[in-house]
Chain A
C-alpha cells in the first residue's frame, strides 16, 4: 500500500500549507473500525472529496473534523493545533448537513444569522443583516430572508444550508453528501455553483460523496476510501489515469477488466495470461509478484472498434448501442473475455461507420493504454 502522503509534495507537508491533518486517526464503534489509522493532510484552499461506497467511513472522517466525534486514537489537527477534544462549537469549521438540518422554528434569515449571533461580544445588528443579505445573494436567493423553511423547495433549502455555513467565513467547510437529495438537473447546477463559490471565497471545501462523477467534476483532489482507510488520493486526472488498484480503477470512471496471472515483460511492462490462454501486454505502475492474480484495465475510450481486423485485434459481436451525443457507447461480447464497454467518439464513428447490434467487429487498443493492476 502506498503512503497516504505520496500525493502531497514535500513542500506541502509543512503545517503552514495544511489547514487540517489526520495523524493515525482511528475511530472505533464497538467492533467496527469506521476510520482506520487515517493519515493525510488537507491543503489550504483546496477542494477535497472523500469518495467511497456506503459505510466506508467518509462521514466519520468528516465528523472528526467537525468535532462531533472524538478519535479513539490518533490526532486531528486544525491549523496546526491538536483539536481531538475541542467541541464543535469552538472549531472554526462549518458543516452542510446531508438533510440540511435547518431550524424549522426560524425564518430563512434567522437560520443564516444563527452562527453570527452566537459570537461574543454580540455583533452589530445591521452588520448581521448585511452579511445575511450578502450570503443570500451569493446562493442566489435574494429577498428570501423572511420566508419560513417549509415554504422553500428542496433545492432552495440546500442553498439556505450553504448560506448558513459560508456566512461565518469558516476556515474549513464540510459538506456531507449535500446534493444527494436533489434531482439530477438541480444537482448539476449546484455542483457548478459550489465550485464557483469555492473559488470566489477561497475557503477550503471538504466534500463527502459516493457519486464519482460529482467528485471527479468538482474536486482538486480526491481521497478514495475503503473500509475506513484511504486507498489512494490524488487529482481526478491522476486517479483516472494512474489508479493503483483495480478497486480504484473500478470506482473512478468506467473500465474493462481482463483477469489473469501476472508475469514480467520487457522494459518494465507486464503480461497477463488469461484462463483461456491468451496473453496481453500492459503497463505496470505498481510492483507485482510473478504469478500474482492481476487485472488488465482498459478504459472504454481507449478501445478502437473497427469493421475489419487490424493487427492483433480481437473479434467481437456488437450487443448493444447507446447514443450519448458526442459519444456512442457499445457493449460488445468477446468469446473468451466476456462483455466489454467501448466508447466511440462521434468523429471516429463517422469515419469508420456505425455498428448495429449483431454485427461482427474488431477491437484493439494501444498497449501503453492498458494498465496491469493488483486485484484487491
Chain B
C-alpha cells in the first residue's frame, strides 16, 4: 500500500519536477540536461510577448479578485441572514457552482456575453450615430467578469464557513453596547471575517492567474499567460516555456500557502 501511495505521488509530482528542472537546463532541448543555467528565465522575462501576457494576466487576476471578494463577501453575509431551506439550497448551489467544469462556465459565459453584446451594441450605435460608437467585445471586461463570477463562489464558501463559526452573540453584544447595525458590521463583523476575505482574495487571484479554460473562451483578442503558453507549445516545448510554467507555479503556491496561513491564524484568534 505504501508503495502504491509512493507511485501516486511520483506520478503527480514528477512532471512538475521535470518542468522545474528543465527550466534550469543550459541546453535548448527539453530531452537532455546539459548543464545548469538561468538563461531561460532571463529570456522569458525579456520577451515582450511574455511580458504583455503577464501584464494582462495580472490585471485580470487583480480586478476579478477584488470584484469577487467584495461581492462574495456581500453574498455570504446575505446568506447568513437567510434561514431554513432557502439557505440550504443556496449553500448547495454554491458548491455546485464550484464543481461545474471550467469548459461549461467558459461556453456559458461566452454565449451569455455574446447575446448581451448583441443587444447592447445596436443600442450604443443608436446613441452615437456618427459611427464612432464604442462597441462592446470580448477582452479585459469579459475575462474579468467570467473569472470574478467563478471566484465569487470560492469567496462565498470560505466566508460562509467563517461566519458560521462566528459566535452570534458577538453581534448581539455589540448591539447591546449601543452600536447600530452598520457600526457593528464595521467594528466587529468585518475585522473578524477579514482574514477570510483576504484568503478568498488570494485564492481568487491564484485561480484567475492560472486559469486557461475559461479564459480561452472569453479572452477575445487578449492573451493571458496561460493562453500564451498554450499557443507557444504548438511550436514545441522550449525551456523558456518551462521557465514560465515554473514561475507561475511558484507564485501560485506562494499565494496558496499565504492564504492557508491567514485562514489558520484567523481561526485560532477568532475562537473563544
With contacts A97-B169, A99-B167, A118-B183 known, is A105 near B269, CB below 8 A?
A: yes
User: Cβ of A87 and Cβ of B175 under 8 Å apart?
Assistant: yes
Distance in Å: Cβ of B64 to nearest Cβ of chain A: 29
B178 contacts the other chain (CB 8 A): yes
User: Cβ of A114 and Cβ of B174 under 8 Å apart?
Assistant: yes
Distance in Å: Cβ of B17 to nearest Cβ of chain A: 42
User: Cβ of B176 and Cβ of A89 under 8 Å apart?
Assistant: yes
Majority SS of interface residues in chain B?
A: helix
B45 contacts the other chain (CB 8 A): no
B118 contacts the other chain (CB 8 A): no
When chains A and B are docked, how far (Å) is the Cα of A113 from the Cα of B175?
14
With contacts A118-B183, A150-B269 known, is A101 near B178, CB below 8 A?
A: no
* Shortest Cβ distance from A120 into B: residue: B178
User: Cβ of A88 and Cβ of B172 under 8 Å apart?
Assistant: yes
A115 contacts the other chain (CB 8 A): yes
Across-interface contacts of B180 in A (CB, < 8 A): 87, 89
Across-interface contacts of B270 in A (CB, < 8 A): 104
* Shortest Cβ distance from B272 into A: residue: A99
* Shortest Cβ distance from A115 into B: residue: B177
Contact of A95 among B170, B176, B271, B272 (CB under 8 A): B176
Across-interface contacts of B183 in A (CB, < 8 A): 118
User: Cβ of A105 and Cβ of B272 under 8 Å apart?
Assistant: no
When chains A and B are docked, how far (Å) is the Cα of A361 from the Cα of B149?
84
- The 0/1 profile, CB within 8 Å of A marked 1, for residues 156-178 of chain B is 00000000000101101111111
- The 0/1 profile, CB within 8 Å of B marked 1, for residues 103-120 of chain A is 111000000001100110
Most buried by A among B169, B170, B177, B183: B177
Contact residues on B (Cβ < 8 Å of other chain), bracket: 20 to 34
When chains A and B are docked, how far (Å) is the Cα of A337 from the Cα of B170?
52
Across-interface contacts of A88 in B (CB, < 8 A): 172, 175-176
Majority SS of interface residues in chain A?
A: loop
User: Cβ of B170 and Cβ of A89 under 8 Å apart?
Assistant: no
When chains A and B are docked, how far (Å) is the Cα of A16 from the Cα of B146?
64
With contacts A89-B178, A115-B178, A118-B179 known, is A105 near B191, CB below 8 A?
A: yes
User: Cβ of B192 and Cβ of A104 under 8 Å apart?
Assistant: yes
Most buried by A among B167, B174, B178, B187: B178
When chains A and B are docked, how far (Å) is the Cα of A114 from the Cα of B179?
9
Across-interface contacts of A101 in B (CB, < 8 A): 167, 169-170, 172-173
A164 contacts the other chain (CB 8 A): yes
- The 0/1 profile, CB within 8 Å of A marked 1, for residues 7-28 of chain B is 0000000000000000000000
When chains A and B are docked, how far (Å) is the Cα of A66 from the Cα of B188?
19
Contact of A119 among B169, B170, B178, B192 (CB under 8 A): B178
When chains A and B are docked, how far (Å) is the Cα of A315 from the Cα of B251?
88
User: Cβ of B269 and Cβ of A104 under 8 Å apart?
Assistant: yes
With contacts A97-B169, A104-B192, A105-B192 known, is A114 near B177, CB below 8 A?
A: yes
Distance in Å: Cβ of B101 to nearest Cβ of chain A: 39
With contacts A101-B167, A118-B183 known, is A94 near B177, CB below 8 A?
A: yes
When chains A and B are docked, how far (Å) is the Cα of A164 from the Cα of B173?
10
* Shortest Cβ distance from A102 into B: residue: B173
User: Cβ of A168 and Cβ of B177 under 8 Å apart?
Assistant: yes
* Shortest Cβ distance from A114 into B: residue: B177
List CB contacts (< 8 Å) of A58-115 with chain B: 66-68, 87-90, 93-95, 97-99, 101-105, 114-115
* Shortest Cβ distance from B180 into A: residue: A89
User: Cβ of A68 and Cβ of B192 under 8 Å apart?
Assistant: no
Across-interface contacts of B192 in A (CB, < 8 A): 104-105
* Shortest Cβ distance from A174 into B: residue: B176
- The 0/1 profile, CB within 8 Å of A marked 1, for residues 177-204 of chain B is 1111001000110011000000000000
User: Cβ of B179 and Cβ of A103 under 8 Å apart?
Assistant: no
* Shortest Cβ distance from B175 into A: residue: A88
* Shortest Cβ distance from B170 into A: residue: A101
List CB contacts (< 8 Å) of A164-199 with chain B: 164, 168
When chains A and B are docked, how far (Å) is the Cα of A213 from the Cα of B272?
28
User: Cβ of A89 and Cβ of B269 under 8 Å apart?
Assistant: no
When chains A and B are docked, how far (Å) is the Cα of A99 from the Cα of B192?
18
User: Cβ of B272 and Cβ of A104 under 8 Å apart?
Assistant: yes
User: Cβ of A164 and Cβ of B177 under 8 Å apart?
Assistant: yes
With contacts A97-B169, A99-B272 known, is A89 near B175, CB below 8 A?
A: yes
When chains A and B are docked, how far (Å) is the Cα of A50 from the Cα of B252?
57
Contact of B172 among A68, A102, A150 (CB under 8 A): A68
Apart from A103-B173, A103-B174, A104-B269, list 16 A-B contacts with CB within 8 A: A66-B176, A68-B175, A87-B180, A88-B172, A88-B175, A89-B176, A94-B177, A97-B172, A101-B167, A101-B170, A102-B173, A103-B188, A104-B192, A118-B179, A168-B177, A168-B178
A residues near B (Cβ < 8 Å) are: 66-68, 87-90, 93-95, 97-99, 101-105, 114-115, 118-119, 150, 164, 168
Could you give 11 example pairs across A and B, Cβ below 8 Å? A88-B175, A88-B176, A97-B173, A103-B173, A104-B269, A104-B270, A105-B188, A105-B192, A114-B174, A114-B187, A118-B183
